[in-house]
Structure 1
Amino acid sequence: MRPKNLSGIFTQKFWWIGSTVIWYSWSLSTLRQYSRGRALRNTETVAILFADIAKSTPLYELLGDARAQSQITRWLSALEDITERFKGKVIKSIGDEVLCTFPNTHLAVNAGIAMHQVLDLMPVEEIAEAGSPNLYVGIHFGRIIKEGHDIFGDSVNVASRTVALAQQRQILVTEQAALQLGPDAVPHIKMVDTVIMKGKQEKIRIHEYIWEQIDLTMMVNQSTETTASTRRLELVTAHGAVVVDQNHPCATIGRQSHNDVVISNQLVSRSHARVEYRWGRFILTDLSSNGTYLLQDETDPRFIKRDEVTLRGSGQICVGGKKDTLPECSIRFLLTSS
């Protein structure tokens, strides 16, 4: 008889044992990684708040890079302190914006109000005429994914897009967030718009939490000297006048009824333009499809579209078309200082 090939048998057995060990090691490593990932990636339902310091870019031109960055850092630090005071967690600061979470919408809204109020007490250092900064605040309530010290998910995206819709000194909340506030908040809630956000099929209702009415009344009653020295700009139409100043830093113009100046014409966009008080200047920003014509300083009409320009002296803002073709869409403006 021919002897068996023992070396071949041993080789096959060692190969099988080695493969088994490798497979077991790989499976154990994969299981550990999965378990570690499960431990680091948790879901939680919270109120997500974005607070964005309004129009900080001109501050760099005013102060220079180093001083402007130092000033913004102080403001962000104050916002982070407010977050912790209202039992929130600061997730991160991004440029001139802070992202944080709260156990519920009630705490998030109260924190948003306190953020506005604390920045009112922190004017730009060394340049008093620049005044205090304003905020955009957006809040959503929903499920997030936590990974390490960061958060992700659709709810974070909705909160981010909500703050992008806000005007200066506004607190905007989604319907999901507003429903968490309860009946006591109803007098403070006003529906602003219904929007379709990028990446979502259903429409989302956006509400404003109105927080400033009582404070502004007290401010006018208690300090006429302060308001008397403030620069102001009047927007005048056939239906009345709207004032923009440091206490009312933004006025919106558009076709929908929620705007401060309503122009009922199909050539006017729903949210067509806005006029803002920004660092001692008045800025006209066009947001429309058809653009805006500006007449000032006795010069030829200037056409702006998705752009901004500084208003000076007096003149006319013509939304949707020129004054001679759409006189009903013309708004007179007058800048005064007393």
Structure 2
Amino acid sequence: MNICILAALHGSDETLTTRVGDDEADRAAARCAHRIERAISAHGGRLIEATRERTLARFDDANAAIQAAVDALDRIRNLPPLRGRKHPARLGVHVGALSTEMGKPSGEGVVQALRIANQCEAEQALASAQAIARLGSAARHLVASRPVAGLDTSRLDVTVHEIGHGKAEAVRQPLAQRNERLQLRHRNGVVHVEEIRPVVLLGRELGNDIVIGDPRASRQHARIERRHEGFILFDESTNGTYVAVEGQVERLVRQDRLLLTGQGRIGCGFACEEGDEREIVFFDFE
């Protein structure tokens, strides 16, 4: 069966090791792997292999795979710099056959995705024409219109395009030009995240915009920012932030970020099904 495969290579190389040392290079590789796994999970992918050197995931939808790759690069590029070196993360996306016999992923889809990733530079993602052909409007703007030139074609028998380079700033309408705003409801109060109030703070301290009374919430628990790409929740807590979007499985965000979509509930330090409903923050878009 053909499936969309995302392959990520994140092992440290000799050049990076020479520049920052073995320990720091290993830590950088581990940080990249962690953020790649977070991006995969955030976009509905399923891990089929996760080792020190590489991560493989499957997606039922090519749009989600491309978005996960771009999200992973964003998370990695936000990491602290490595003395002038890029982080060891190279991602390839391809649609092809997948087999998991004997518990080891194989098949043309896996082989080609790994070959594509191996042709990437650090902090780069490439996708095959086969994957791009399956894209809809949700992710097509994330793909370069022209194929990548100058690759070692003897190692590839597919055409590839770069994804996530410059993303969509030149194509997508800036958020500031839209009228959309995020409505947050807590107890009897309503707070809006909008152009005139682009950041809202949540936490146990009285100085927050939304004060959470549950003791599991941190004093400065989380913030929601209005950015070009949408409304982003950033968790800064000890116990994490639970986000339950209507029609989806509840997610735990811990020391990470999540793009808010649709309508749903936010639990600061507790799962939405387990907490006091008075302390849950309900959100939707207007």
**TM, length-normalised to structure 1:** 0.43
The higher relative CO (CA closer than 8 Å, separation ≥ 6) is in 2
**TM, length-normalised to structure 2:** 0.49
Name the structure where helix makes up a greater proportion of residues. 1
